Structure 1
Amino acid sequence: MKTKNANESADKIISMPVVNLHAAGIDLGSKSHFVCVSQDNVKEFGVFTIDLHAIARHLKEHEVQTVAIESTGFYWRPLYLLLLDYGFEVVLVNARHLKNVKGHKTDVVDCKWLQLLHSIGLLSNSFQPNEC
């Protein structure tokens, strides 16, 4: 059961103005990636190259322009580079900077949380040095 403070915090975040109208959030994993293009549209994808292209096509179909992903392990790098090649703005978020939702954590909850925070402009991009 949520406490009064947790409910108030969630309500404040949800009522904030949207600054990234076409934003998505992706929760990356070793066996699957969960993609949220809106709070009522979450889809699970595999992790192979063909699946990563399917993610990019899915994002294009939903007119997504900017994508937030967590920099967890090394799972982020192939998708990050592929999404850049497809022309997306990719925000690489340090997992330590995210405030996780209290309660039962799932991949669906995580990708929805990323999408919500990104759509209201609360995520900062991690530094990425130029390739040599």
Structure 2
Amino acid sequence: MALKIVYPICCGIDVHKTFVVACIASTIKGVTTYKRHRFSTYTKGLNQLSQCLYENNCSDVCMEFIKYWMPIFNILEDSCNITLAHPKYVKAIRGKKTDKKDAKWIADLFKHDLVAGSFMPPPCIRQLRELMRYRFKLTNFMSSEKNRLQNCLTVSNIQLGNVVSDTFGISSINIIEKLLENPLDTSFDLQHLIHGSMKKKLPELELANDGFITPEQAEKLRVFKQHS
């Protein structure tokens, strides 16, 4: 029993870092013909790919979901229905492997609708995802750097974290900045550096501030301050 042709005109794209190989499969009365083209992954080349698909009346495209997919997807998204397939589902048959065979194999699988596509959200959701991932990355980076600063204070036996609820509050930062002016002198007056309810903790802060900051730890604190 012959498999049903779901996409009479479709394209399989074998994706690489610097080029793509597109194989357009056109099926008429059960007979499939193939047109293969190679394009660069520069914007000019991808626009040529889009034009080639348009000229061949091909709007259904299948390609592997590998790390180089995004620029191709961005160019073709508005003019084509794109199916992104996990590489393991479009693995070429055993034998001599070539880019042309890979593209043809993808097209053959796709024309029979034998490829399970990955979910791809609309552009606005993808942009939001990118922003949230970047924000998450920056948040983790900042948390890591704050931990480094706290470690510098702990090593120097500056125990501000034992007295204040937020080591990065206004009063604590004022004390740290004062410490960095002269790391060898921790006996300065704290009265004018602290604010509000912190004044009630002045005796504890004076005890917590009685440490010794080495030049190495002081330099680490300065680097954090410069980039925070």
TM value normalised by structure 1: 0.82
Take 1:116 and 1:18, find their aligned partners in 2: how far apart are those partners? 10
For residues 10-21 of structure 1, the aligned pairs below 5 Å read: 15-21=2-8
Amino acid at match of 1:80: F
Q: CA RMSD in A?
A: 1.4
Higher alpha-carbon deviation: 36-45 or 58-67: 36-45
For the pair shown, which has the larger CA radius of gyration, 1 or 2?
Answer: 2
SS at match of 2:70: helix
1:65 aligns with 2:59: yes
- Deviating above 4 A after TM superposition, structure 1's stretches of 4 or more consecutive aligned residues are none
1:24 aligns with 2:17: no
Q: Specify the alignment match of 1:51 in structure 2.
A: 45
Contact 2:85/2:117 (<8 A) preserved: yes
Q: Specify the alignment match of 2:110 in structure 1.
A: 118
Take 1:26 and 1:98, find their aligned partners in 2: how far apart are those partners? 11
Take 1:99 and 1:55, find their aligned partners in 2: how far apart are those partners? 23
| Aligned match for 1:91, one of 80, 83, 93 | 83
1:82 aligns with 2:75: yes
Q: Specify the alignment match of 1:3 in structure 2.
A: none
Amino acid at match of 2:47: H
1:21 Cα offset (Å): 1.2
Calculate percent identity across the aligned residue pairs.
Answer: 26
Amino acid at match of 2:89: H
Deviations 1:59-80 (A, max 9, x none): 00000011000012x2111101
Take 2:92 and 2:38, find their aligned partners in 1: how far apart are those partners? 20
Q: Specify the alignment match of 1:101 in structure 2.
A: 93
Q: How many residues in Structure 1 have an aligned counterpart in Structure 2?
A: 117
1:97 Cα offset (Å): 2.0
Take 2:17 and 2:59, find their aligned partners in 1: how far apart are those partners? 25
Take 2:71 and 2:23, find their aligned partners in 1: how far apart are those partners? 18
Greater share of helix: 2
Amino acid at match of 1:128: M
Q: Specify the alignment match of 1:7 in structure 2.
A: none
Amino acid at match of 2:74: L
Which runs of no fewer than 5 residues in structure 2 stay unpaired?
Answer: 26-32, 129-228
Which structure exhibits the higher relative contact order, with contacts defined as CA atoms closer than 8 Å and separated by 6 or more residues? 1
Amino acid at match of 1:32: F
For residues 33-44 of structure 1, the aligned pairs below 5 Å read: 33-38=20-25, 39-44=33-38
SS at match of 1:96: helix
